[in-house]
Amino acid sequence: MYKYLTDDQIKANYAAAKQTYALLGVDTDKALKDAAAVPLSLHCWQGDDVTGFEKATDGLTGGIMATGNHPGRAQNGEQLRADLDLAASLIPGTKKVNLHALYAETEGKKVPRDEVGPEHFTKWIAWAKKAKLGLDFNPSYFSHPLAASGFTLSHADKKTREFWIRNGIQSRKIATAMGKATGMPAVNNQWIPDGSKDLPADRLSPRLRLKDSLDAIFAEKADPKLLIDAVESKLFGIGSESYVVGSHEFYTAYAVQNQMPLCLDMGHFHPTETIADKISGLLPFVPGLLLHVSRGVRWDSDHVVIYNEDVQAVFNEINRSGAWKKVWVALDFFDASINRIMAWTVGARAARKAMLSALLEPAKLLKDEEKAGHFGARLALMEELKNLPLTAVWDQLCLDQGVPTGTNWINVSDKYEADVLLKR
Ligand code: RNT
Ligand code: ZN
């Protein structure tokens, strides 16, 4: 059993930390409220290694991969929701749950992917309402025989393309129903795996077809109170190493032209390329950004998010740009080698901690020093800020939000693994 500080000790530490931050003009009470209010979308697919319930193919396709065989994977909606309930109880702050068309519940009926509709998500919607969770959605353009060629919305065959366009159109209807039911707009993200292993001779035609397909999907205007459309770019996938149709340039241009949020996945760029500096480069041109918070290790490996410099830099940029209302934050990783609830919880707590740390940064002070040309002080402050008592404020956030503090949550997860997961 892990032991952690008592609630009284946490409160005392917080009181001391509050004074330290106040000396820099930072209001820790406000940071606690603001950090808890940012919606964080938990991706349902960490709970079952992106398997879904439809199982139209023998395993995951689309150039993404979950490795590992830790026991206890969720195998149906009830189990996945129970696991998400437990994870949600360990993660502080406002939460949403991100679903994929693959997670439709069809009562044993075979429903073609292009006919999956809001009626197949009624259980998810009822559960989310009860648990006071928002919902987000994604059409699933993979793990399907019609995606076996590696092409979907950009496929050369019109019939195949139209099938996937219908999947895209349906996804917007499902997301709209989710937005209506939960009272929070649902972000619906379009990601396709399209691309090729080796050098294509024609890079342009698939991109022209993708543009047309997207235009058809987005033909109906969205009600922004219910539905936020986003498009996600990528550099390469397994089996699409040489060419990806929906590249960063393609979707940046598409998002700007159509004034829709662009999704930046932290694992979708060159291995040493980070996304923090892209935020202020894009914000003047797009109405918002969807972040897929992830961790690539040597490739787009979708490792569990940890509290590291890359993640911190992303949230610092959002805070310094005053862009919290223009950014939707979603997790995107899938690790099957460890307890999946721990994967969710480690990743989500890390993301929330980075949000809190960003909100505790005296951004105005840094900018004032910059304006004054006092660059030595700017750098000195950035260094000093690194050892401020963030942990004391983080513990208070967990206490305020009614979730386990410090290492205590590991005990809760271990008990659930013994009582529930290992009995599956
Ligand atoms: C794949 C994309 C995409 C998926 C999920 C399952 O590289 O990152 O977002 O991970 O939609
Ligand atoms: Zn992603």
Ligand 1 touching residue 232 (CB < 6 A): yes
Task: Give, as residue ranges, everything with CB less than 5 Å from ion ligand 2.
Answer: 265, 292, 332
- Torsion sign across C-alpha atoms 261, 263, 269, 273: positive
Ligand 1 touching residue 49 (CB < 6 A): no
**Residue 220 three-state SS:** coil
Supply the DSSP symbol for 304. Answer: P
**Is 157 labeled as catalytic in the residue annotation?**
no
What's the rounded Cα separation, in Å, for the pair 152 and 165? 9
What's the rounded Cα separation, in Å, for the pair 224 and 9? 44
Give the H or E element holding residue 229. strand 227-232
Closest ligand 1 atom to residue 265 Cα is 8
The answer to whether residue 412 sits within a structural domain is: no
228 strand-pairing partners: 187
The answer to whether residue 76 sits within a structural domain is: yes
Q: What pLDDT, in 10s, does the model give residues 191-204?
A: 999 999 999 999 99
**Is 232 labeled as catalytic in the residue annotation?**
yes
What's the rounded Cα separation, in Å, for the pair 135 and 175? 8
Ligand 1 touching residue 45 (CB < 6 A): yes
Closest ligand 1 atom to residue 332 Cα is 10
What pLDDT is stored for residue 296 in this prediction? 98
The answer to whether residue 401 sits within a structural domain is: no
**Is 332 labeled as catalytic in the residue annotation?**
yes
CATH number for the domain that contains residue 46:
3.20.20.150
Q: By CB neighbour count within 10 A (0-12 exposed, 13-18 middle, 19+ buried), where does 201 fall?
A: exposed
**From the CA of 265, how far away is ligand 2's center (Å)?**
5
Question: Which regions of the chain are under pLDDT 70?
Answer: none
**From the CA of 95, how far away is ligand 1's center (Å)?**
19
Which of 294, 238, 329, 254 is CA-nearest to residue 246? 254
What pLDDT is stored for residue 380 in this prediction? 98
The answer to whether residue 286 sits within a structural domain is: yes
The one catalytic residue among 194, 229, 317, 332: 332
Ligand 1 touching residue 172 (CB < 6 A): no
Ligand 1 touching residue 292 (CB < 6 A): yes
Domain count, the chain: 1
The answer to whether residue 370 sits within a structural domain is: no
- Torsion sign across C-alpha atoms 271, 275, 276, 277: positive
Q: By CB neighbour count within 10 A (0-12 exposed, 13-18 middle, 19+ buried), where does 249 fall?
A: exposed
Amino acid at 258: N
Ligand 1 touching residue 48 (CB < 6 A): no
Instruction: State the residue range of the domain holding 325.
Output: 38-360
Which of 316, 306, 320, 417 is CA-nearest to residue 357? 316
Ligand 1 touching residue 50 (CB < 6 A): yes
**Is 292 labeled as catalytic in the residue annotation?**
yes
**From the CA of 181, how far away is ligand 1's center (Å)?**
25
The answer to whether residue 87 sits within a structural domain is: yes
**Residue 93 three-state SS:** coil
Residue 72: CB atoms within 10 Å:
18
| b/e burial code for range 268-285 (CB count within 10 A of at least 16 → b) | bbeeeeebbebbeebbee
**Is 277 labeled as catalytic in the residue annotation?**
no
Give Cβ neighbours of residue 406 (< 8 Å, ≥ 6 apart). Answer: 2, 4, 5, 395, 398
The one catalytic residue among 114, 136, 194, 300: 300
**From the CA of 245, how far away is ligand 2's center (Å)?**
15
The answer to whether residue 7 sits within a structural domain is: no
Ligand 1 touching residue 265 (CB < 6 A): yes
The answer to whether residue 314 sits within a structural domain is: yes
Q: What pLDDT, in 10s, does the model give residues 341-370?
A: 999 999 999 999 999 999 999 999 999 999
Nearest CA to ligand 1 atom 3: 191
**From the CA of 30, how far away is ligand 1's center (Å)?**
34
Q: Which two tokens stand for residue 279?
A: 């935020």
